[in-house]
Amino acid sequence: MLSYESIEELVAAATEAGCSISELVLKDQAAEMESTELEIYEKMELDYEVMKNSVRMGQDKNQRSMSGLTGGEGYKMRAYATENGGLCGSFLSGAIARALAVAGCNASMGRIVAAPTAGSCGILPGCLISLEEERGIDPKKIVMSMFTAGAFGMVTAFRSSIAGASGGCQAECGTASAMAAAALTEVMGGTPKQCADAFSIAMGNQLGLVCDPVAGLVEIPCIKRNVSGLVIAFSSADMVLAGIFSEIPADECLDAMREVGDAMPAALKETACGGFATTPTGERLKKQVFGERKED
């Protein structure tokens, strides 16, 4: 059974078995959980349905966060994408709208799938749902790719971090983006090695990303960072599918991410004590939500 301790092992096992990473992981998880592959697949299928529902909720015109700081981004972007496609074209603009919608759903206390965290929940569904709805990709292939994304996420959690409090936003949106890049690559016919390369490229483009939530809430700049993570995932997958590879192996990339996270000051790791959180506007928005803090 796979230990998910390194991406190198994951890729080698799938390559030796002559199958995709998702097929290997599904078989492994079924054995470990003493269940059938169909039962495990159907559980993942339910997660995919939750993602779709999150998009629908987040695209509601009246969607607002509990704090009132954000809301309606998914609706606005969807309307913009539908009207003229925007600078990015209708496909990518639509994917951006879905990522915003899911992140907005989370901020308004809706149901989401943490992929791998709530703060980065819009990236994977924004990518995958767009492939089904805009490109007509078989939803079964989409669901299977979620096993690949999950496997890469498990290795990241074991070898580095997926928590903003320990690694900054590189560990949250960075990991989600890299997971999505691997999943996208598999869906589009990439090899296990290419999935790892896409993962590495996406992660490498987000090293050092800090976690600085305004007012300590998963809204500003978190919601919009889901969008940048999504765009990086698509571009990373496209580069790999074009024949471009990552010079830095995926496991070394994760080791670097852990090293950067350890070196990052606590003020930039989800404490809201630095970055955007302590700008004049960040402080003003904090007071707007919580009022003036009384001194002890």
- Report the pLDDT value the prediction gives residue 292, as an integer from 0 to 100: 81
Please state the pTM of the whole predicted model: 0.96
Residue 119 CA to residue 224 CA, distance in Å, equals 10
Are 176 and 205 contacting, i.e. CB atoms less than 8 angstroms apart? no
- Tens of pLDDT along 75-89? 999 999 999 899 999
Q: What is the mean pLDDT of the chain?
A: 96
Which CATH architecture best describes the domain 7-289? Orthogonal Bundle (1.10)
- Tens of pLDDT along 269-287? 999 999 999 999 999 999 9
Helix 173-187 / helix 21-32 crossing angle, nearest 10 deg: 110
- Report the pLDDT value the prediction gives residue 231, as an integer from 0 to 100: 98
- Mean pLDDT across 1-15: 87
- Report the pLDDT value the prediction gives residue 159, as an integer from 0 to 100: 96
Are 176 and 115 contacting, i.e. CB atoms less than 8 angstroms apart? yes
Phi and psi angles of residue 146, each rounded to the nearest 5 degrees, phi first: -65, -25
Instruction: Provide the token pair at 231.
Output: 């765009």
- Tens of pLDDT along 166-224? 999 999 999 999 999 999 999 999 999 999 999 999 999 999 999 999 999 999 999 99
Res. 4 pLDDT band, cuts 50 70 90: confident
Find all residues with CB under 8 Å of 129, minimum gap 6, and list them: 51, 52, 55, 98, 142
- Tens of pLDDT along 48-98? 999 999 999 999 999 999 999 999 999 999 999 999 899 999 999 999 999
- Report the pLDDT value the prediction gives residue 296, as an integer from 0 to 100: 42
Q: Look at residue 38 and tell me whether its pLDDT is greater than 70.
A: yes
Residue 9 CA to residue 26 CA, distance in Å, equals 16
Looking at this protein, which amino acid is placed at residue 159? R
Are 171 and 161 contacting, i.e. CB atoms less than 8 angstroms apart? yes
Q: HSE of 202 in the Cβ direction (CA atoms, 13 Å)? A: 37
Q: Look at residue 2 and tell me whether its pLDDT is greater than 70.
A: no
For the chain, the structural domain boundaries read 7-289
- Report the pLDDT value the prediction gives residue 294, as an integer from 0 to 100: 56
